[in-house]
Amino acid sequence: MSDSQCIFCKIVSREIPSPLVYEDDEIVVFRDINPAAPVHLLIVPRLHIETLADCENQHGALLGKMVGLAPRLARQEGVGYAGRDGDGGFKTLINTGRGGGQEVYHLHIHVLGGPRPWKPR
């Protein structure tokens, strides 16, 4: 299902061209247009789910796949976890609703990393 008004659905459908960092049959990943950190990726399901709060048990596998992609992509971007004593690492973030600062109502996980300072998110 997609929403014709949704900017991320338009990126998923290629109606709006945006270079993809990763894609498979369920997920696309692209760079945030207004990055808050040197690495700022958005992990986005092809399925239009508005918020994390709209997820149900049936979405568990998809959510697990999205979360599991984060460390892999972070490593690919040079900000992977390098153990507790290493400098590497990244932040994962899901904003939900106005109170959570959500701007785009199509579920996504932010992956942020790289040298600070970062813009506040």
Give the footprint of Zn ion on this chain (CB under 5 A).
3, 6, 8-9, 48, 106
101 lines the binding site for ligand 5GP (CB under 6 A): yes
Q: Compute the distance between CA of residue 19 and CA of residue 44 in angstroms, rounded to an integer.
A: 13
C-alpha 87: how far from chain center: 22
Which partner in Zn ion, ligand 5GP, none is near 63 (CB below 5 to 8 A by kind)?
Answer: none
Q: Compute the distance between CA of residue 21 and CA of residue 110 in angstroms, rounded to an integer.
A: 13
At residue 42, φ and ψ (nearest 5 deg) are -120, 120
Interacting residue with ligand 5GP among 63, 95, 114, 118 (CB under 6 A)? 95
CB 52 within 8 A of CB 13: no
Compare residues 4 and 57 and give the one whose CB is closer to ligand 5GP. Answer: 4
Q: Among this protein's residues, is 48 annotated catalytic?
A: no
Q: Which residues of this chain interact with ligand 5GP, rule CB under 6 A?
A: 7, 18, 30-34, 42, 95, 101-104
